[in-house]
Amino acid sequence: MAPHERITALRRELHEHNRRYYVTDSPSISDAEFDRLLRELQDLEALHPEYFDANSPTQRVGGGIIKHFEQVAHRRPMLSLANTYSFDELDEFVRRAEELASVPNLEWSAELKFDGVAISLWYENGELIRALTRGDGEVGDDVVVNVRTIRELPLYLPDEAPRDLEVRGEIVFLHDDFERMNARRREQGLEPFANPRNAASGTLKMQDSAEVGLRRLSMFAYAAFSADQPLETHSGALDALARWGFPVPPRAQRWAQKCTSSDELKDFLTFWDAERQHLPVATDGAVLKVDRVEEQQRLGFTAKAPRWAIAYKFNAEQACTVLREVVYQVGRTGAVTPVAVLDPVWLSGTQVQRASVHNADQIAKLDLHLGDWVWVEKGGEIIPKITAVDLGRRPIGAPTVVFAADCPDCGTPLERQNGEAQHFCPNAEHCPPQIKGRIEHFIHRRAMDVDGIGIETVDRLVDLGWVRTPADLYDLGAAGWARLDKFKEKSVANALASLEASRSIPYERVLFALGIRHVGETVAKKLAKAFTHMDRLAAASMDDLIAVPDVGPQIAVSIASWMCDPEHQRELSRLKAHGLQMEKAASAGGASAVLEGQTFVVSGVFTHFSRDGIKDAVEQHGGRIASSVSSKTNYLLAGEGVGPSKRAKAEALGVKWLTEEEFRAWIGSTD
């Protein structure tokens, strides 16, 4: 047999063995025989590099370093799903879908929602060519080099499948693979990952695909699109994907199920709310979709989500474990947060070893003692927190947890102001975690967006003593950056280019990036509107500051104190000298004052605006945004999917209901 023919035959045979082993759980050869065939293929490919194929089974282990992932536009928007946590809201969603579709009893497909990273796989001529992350929903990163290491995925489609196909799914870590990876990291002296979701996200963006292959990611497919072979139902699409070799939620194990009513959907959700802890993968809920594609198309989309699908999130899980110690973390503002160190316990698919205790008052309220058995749950399925103590299991003589008196990093005595819940380290200019936190905040995407400098680089710069304030980043220059160990020519160029680009970041984001306590993005925008130049803000009186919407006495004191500090004044002068924007740009055309004096609460998703976009439109036309409905609210600006509780509160208070189209007409934006 000619070399090319043997290579082709080996690739075909090994792909089939991979499918049998990882997807159908029906291996037909031993591991030793599989390894022998793989070695034969590797040897042949080494002898004949002209037959290289990126989708060869030998590429499953990864190899090579990828410096940058190409950004590619999605063929169709990769939207998020609207969420619900209650059966009442689920009933309302089903009722609304049936009304809009003009179908009294829609058929539904219910399937578990896995806690991972969404991915879109593109196959052309039956071959995997791209794998895009969600990104912003319109454009994603092509991480196909890393996705090829997932052994369950077919790199080539079988003959019965359409030649051109898009498959969407969730990339996850199975519990066993996650624990195996963390065990390997501990052996190497590295910190274990906190949870599978973040680990999967970070792994997908790694530059070394060989390391990605060692970590053993998995994937479950949940959607398919093909112009060649249209699929009539969602459940039929999942069945087809399974036939074509993709891992999908198995119906035989009730991971996916067809339903014909709200009651059947609730039965599915109730079952898995109780049984999810027995799954081999983390799940944070279920996805409920109208099954027929024709009816999905009739229902359509809002600006952010389909009207024919919703994610139901389960309530937080709880677990009981032993409290071993309390350690303290210092944030960029000097706030000190106590963190409980626990005996490891599984919770919502994650092995939890740390949990937040918030502050000294919470420690006192819980009456924490070392050795206590404590109840832990995940707030929003992400951050573990201690909610209660099992006093009946407290060890005799267990020592009381006493809040730290000194900063754990710099040793400065901690302070707590009247009315403050948290303790603070006052050594703002010399406490290392505060310095690092301020620099990291400054370069963040939503602040100055300095993407050529990473957190590890910031840590090194601060530890070396080269950087103490954001202005020091600009002072380094090409020669300074080149002195940084392992910072090569390309890295220096990226850092300098990002810093150069940051000089065009608008004034309001510069103000947010300064890290003034209590000044978030919204308050920064209000301040920039009221004081259009940094010098005017620095000279503002307390009365001037309090007159700004959303700025109360506490925020005003924080701003005034920051601005009058000589160190901060010098920092502003240096940043100004480096060309950062210290003045608000002229308003964009189309802005007006037609909403002056009106307060809006924004809820739901919209067709013509993103959530942030419609808030910006309100403010550009003189209106004010509030976070919750109150007697001071004039309008509930309502998109698709407003929650029943918010709607009921608005009705009870007599708050006017404003649709998106009415809002567009009001501001003169109906084109």
Question: To 10 degrees, what angle do helices 644-653 and 87-101 make?
Answer: 90
E-strand spans in 156-228?
A: 165-172, 218-225
Q: Which of 67, 113, 313, 584 is catalytic?
A: 113
Given a contact cutoff of 8 angstroms between Cβ atoms, the answer to whether 495 and 453 are in contact is yes
Strand partners, 132: 120, 142
Given a contact cutoff of 8 angstroms between Cβ atoms, the answer to whether 12 and 157 are in contact is no
- Tracing tokens 């608008």 back to the chain, one arrives at 506
CA distance 567 to 586: 30
Given a contact cutoff of 8 angstroms between Cβ atoms, the answer to whether 609 and 660 are in contact is yes
Q: Please give the C-alpha separations between residue 248 and each of 112, 218, 370, 471, in angstroms, as whole numbers.
A: 10, 11, 45, 51
Q: Does 632 qualify as catalytic in the annotation?
A: no
Given a contact cutoff of 8 angstroms between Cβ atoms, the answer to whether 328 and 408 are in contact is yes
Q: CA torsion angle for 389, 393, 397, 402 (degrees, to 10)? A: -10
CB proximity list for 274: less than 8 A, separation 6 or greater: none
CB proximity list for 95: less than 8 A, separation 6 or greater: none
Instruction: Return the amino acid letter for 247.
Output: P
Given a contact cutoff of 8 angstroms between Cβ atoms, the answer to whether 360 and 391 are in contact is no
Structure tokens at 393: 């299991």
Given a contact cutoff of 8 angstroms between Cβ atoms, the answer to whether 264 and 291 are in contact is no
Given a contact cutoff of 8 angstroms between Cβ atoms, the answer to whether 438 and 459 are in contact is no
Q: Is 6 exposed, middle or buried (0-12, 13-18, 19+ CB in 10 A)?
A: middle
Q: Is 362 exposed, middle or buried (0-12, 13-18, 19+ CB in 10 A)?
A: middle
Strand partners, 342: 323
Strand partners, 599: 624
Helix or strand or coil: residue 167? strand
CA distance 454 to 457: 5
Structure tokens at 345: 């316990």
Q: H or E element: which one contains 341? A: strand 335-347
CA distance 438 to 14: 52
Distance of CA 305 to the CA centre of its chain: 17
Q: H or E element: which one contains 444? A: none
Given a contact cutoff of 8 angstroms between Cβ atoms, the answer to whether 398 and 404 are in contact is no
Give the angle subtended at the CA of 65 by the CAs of 168 and 75, to the nearest 5°: 25
For the chain, report the end-to-end CA distance as a whole number of angstroms.
Answer: 67
Give the angle subtended at the CA of 157 by the CAs of 153 and 162, to the nearest 5°: 130
Given a contact cutoff of 8 angstroms between Cβ atoms, the answer to whether 504 and 452 are in contact is no
Given a contact cutoff of 8 angstroms between Cβ atoms, the answer to whether 496 and 443 are in contact is no
Instruction: Return the amino acid letter for 501.
Output: A
Rg over alpha carbons for the chain, rounded to the nearest Å, is 28
Distance of CA 318 to the CA centre of its chain: 23
Just list the catalytic residues.
113
